[in-house]
């Protein structure tokens, strides 16, 4: 299931009540796998891409995002499976084609960790849909 649309964040402004101050254009893909299936035939095409991952555990501990390969993130259990890792890699490729450096190679030597405009943020358990095993957002610093 894929969809693109507007999302709004309602924010409260003192003395003015509830205002709709923030508007976002969002794209979302819900990818469902058969029970017990988590590999992807094309995982190797993106496995060595290095991305900036901000895991739920790092968020809860107040730590920074970490640059690592998609393969390492899957092997360490940070990303739950190869299929999800593959789609994170494809998302990074799409963002790079749009002019946003999402991988270390696109950002240039040494610039990735300091200058990255794109990070992948894992949803914490309180943010995830009840049916989701894992969920990541690509966040772009503007």
Q: What is the pLDDT of residues 18-50, one digit of tens each?
A: 555 677 787 777 778 787 788 899 999 999 999
What are the CB-based long-range contacts (under 8 Å, 24+) for 111-119? 112/50, 112/52, 112/67, 113/52, 113/67, 116/52, 116/65, 116/67, 116/141, 117/141, 117/142, 118/52, 118/92, 119/51, 119/52, 119/53, 119/54, 119/65
pTM of the model: 0.77
Q: What is the pLDDT of residue 53?
A: 95
């Amino acid at each position: 299931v894929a969809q693109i649309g507007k999302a709004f964040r309602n924010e409260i402004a003192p003395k003015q009540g509830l205002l709709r101050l923030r508007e976002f254009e969002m794209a979302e893909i819900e990818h469902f796998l058969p029970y017990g299936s988590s590999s992807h035939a094309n995982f190797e095409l993106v496995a060595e891409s290095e991305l900036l991952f901000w895991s739920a555990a790092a968020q809860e501990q107040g730590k920074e995002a970490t640059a690592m390969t998609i393969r390492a993130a899957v092997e360490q259990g940070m990303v739950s499976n190869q299929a999800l890792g593959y789609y994170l890699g494809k998302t990074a490729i799409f963002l790079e084609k749009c002019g946003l450096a999402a991988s270390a190679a696109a950002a240039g030597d040494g610039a990735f960790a300091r200058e990255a405009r794109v990070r992948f943020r894992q949803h914490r358990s309180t943010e995830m849909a009840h049916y989701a095993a894992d969920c990541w957002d690509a966040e772009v610093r503007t």
